[in-house]
């Protein structure tokens, strides 16, 4: 049973070796999990297998997909100690509203929304589903998840309408895979327009023209001349939006990320969600433990770095303009303030937007970001857009 699972992981491009597979078998033989150990679930086997087989967090997502596909329908390894009630595992209400009903639901203002949530938390004493007032699932209340409201606060659950102005849950994102194979070389060719070469380092390369001139001047006796190799001296600071609506653009952003790591020797990257605030991170699995203050990033890199934002700029306007507007925490300063600080620190900058350019005019947040970064400095993630962006940076 496990040999085909091992092959499934290899087919999913998870770099698992035979030695790691044997480690998993040894753990099973030692009854770390299994029928002879304490009752365990498929989750126990999942964590054991991931620990033994995956050595780099970048491959967690590929492992999850292969694991889920191979073990689909197999719910137990052994006896499960405690079952969770089914009504708590699924939404009990999938309420479909008519266009007229949706039109009657008006979004609350920011202050009213936060004050109303505070009162609901004080008054509500039990779980609630449906309805238009309490914090629950499947209703039209602006609090909870799974229902419909044009601008509310999603508390847990999965995103459906993507209209929440704040999200109360611990959200997990995954790193963009910099080993992604490009489907086309066009992105790399467009990025090459930004390259600027200079000869740096030790004399390691034959200087053919100088050797010919020196040999001729030396009456024909060979006089070899060397010169430093040519290196791309362009420095790039890449800030990438991750999670939420950016999940729709993962493949294209991974292609861009792969191309950038190939083309630019001096590349630094960080992640943010929706808008930049007072900190960023480099690893999505450790983003709560390893935070990099935005002030430190501004001070660390010189003005000769080219600043490239990658994001769909699709969010609530509160997230850009309002202190405390972040969907994840109460930021003390508005996102627009931090954006302006970054733009002042790095005069050469662009914003690459993977959203089709035809929809930009219908997104209020995109218009706000365009005004902040400057006219003509937001470009689409297309061949022509990248070429325009590289010319802007130069």
Q: Is the per-residue pLDDT at 120 higher than 90?
A: no
Q: CA 156, CA 145: separation in Å to the nearest integer?
A: 7
Q: Which among 10, 23, 158, 30 is positioned nearest to 70, based on CA atoms? A: 10
8-state DSSP, 139: S
Q: CA 371, CA 284: separation in Å to the nearest integer?
A: 29
State phi, psi for 102 to the nearest 5 degrees. Answer: -65, -35
Specify the pTM.
0.53
Kind plus residue range of the DSSP H or E element containing 360? none
User: Which of the residue ranges 44-48, 74-78, 149-153, 241-245 would you say has the lowest mean pLDDT?
Assistant: 74-78
Furthest-apart CA atoms within the chain: distance in Å? 99
Q: Which among 243, 244, 275, 238 is positioned nearest to 366, based on CA atoms? A: 275
Q: Is the per-residue pLDDT at 83 higher than 50?
A: no
The tokens for 120 are: 């609901």
State phi, psi for 372 to the nearest 5 degrees. Answer: -75, -45
Q: CA 13, CA 16: separation in Å to the nearest integer?
A: 8
Q: Is the per-residue pLDDT at 386 higher than 50?
A: yes
The CATH class, in words, for 186-193+233-393 is: alpha beta
Q: CA 280, CA 330: separation in Å to the nearest integer?
A: 15
Helix 364-373 × helix 335-345 angle, to 10°:
30
pLDDT of residue 354: 92
The tokens for 38 are: 């304490």
pLDDT of residue 311: 93
Share of the chain above pLDDT 70, in %: 65
Q: Per DSSP, what are the bridge partners of residue 281?
A: 271
Q: Which among 343, 345, 344, 348 is positioned nearest to 393, based on CA atoms? A: 348
The tokens for 205 are: 């390369």
| 196: confidence class by pLDDT, cuts 50, 70, 90 | low
pLDDT in tens, 294-307: 999 999 999 989 99
pLDDT of residue 102: 54
């Amino acid at each position: 049973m496990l040999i085909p699972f091992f092959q499934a992981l290899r087919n999913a491009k998870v770099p698992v070796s035979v030695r790691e597979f044997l480690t998993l078998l040894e753990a099973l033989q030692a009854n770390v999990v299994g029928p002879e150990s304490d009752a365990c679930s498929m989750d126990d086997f999942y964590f054991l297998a991931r620990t033994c087989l995956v050595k780099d967090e970048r491959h967690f997502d590929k492992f999850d997909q292969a694991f889920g596909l191979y073990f689909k329908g197999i719910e137990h390894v052994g006896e499960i100690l405690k079952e969770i009630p089914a009504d708590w595992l699924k939404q009990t209400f999938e309420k479909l509203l008519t266009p007229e009903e949706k039109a009657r639901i008006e979004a609350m203002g920011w202050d009213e929304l936060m004050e109303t949530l505070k009162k609901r938390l004080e008054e509500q004493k039990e779980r609630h589903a449906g309805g238009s007032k309490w914090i629950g699932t499947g209703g039209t209340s602006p609090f909870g998840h799974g229902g419909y409201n044009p601008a509310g606060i999603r508390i847990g659950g999965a995103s459906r309408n993507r209209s929440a102005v704040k999200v109360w849950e611990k959200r997990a994102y995954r790193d963009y895979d910099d080993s992604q194979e490009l489907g086309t070389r066009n992105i790399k060719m467009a990025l090459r327009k930004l390259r600027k070469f200079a000869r740096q380092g030790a004399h390691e390369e034959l200087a053919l023209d100088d050797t010919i001139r020196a040999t001729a001047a030396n009456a024909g006796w060979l006089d070899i001349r060397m010169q430093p190799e040519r290196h791309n001296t362009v420095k790039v600071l890449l800030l990438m939006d991750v999670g939420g609506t950016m999940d729709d653009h993962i493949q294209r952003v991974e292609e861009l990320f792969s191309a950038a790591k190939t083309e630019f020797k001096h590349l630094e990257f960080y992640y943010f969600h929706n808008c930049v605030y007072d900190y960023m991170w480099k690893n999505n699995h450790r983003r709560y433990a390893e935070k990099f203050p935005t002030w430190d990033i501004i001070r660390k890199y010189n003005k000769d770095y080219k600043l490239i934002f990658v994001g769909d700029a699709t969010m609530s306007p509160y997230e850009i303009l309002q202190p405390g507007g972040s969907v994840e925490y109460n930021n003390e300063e508005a996102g627009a303030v931090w954006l302006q600080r970054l733009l002042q620190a790095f005069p050469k900058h662009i914003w690459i937007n993977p959203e089709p350019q035809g929809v930009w005019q219908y997104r209020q947040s995109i218009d706000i970001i365009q005004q902040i970064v400057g006219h003509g400095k937001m470009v689409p993630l297309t061949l022509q857009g990248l070429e325009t962006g590289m010319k802007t940076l130069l």
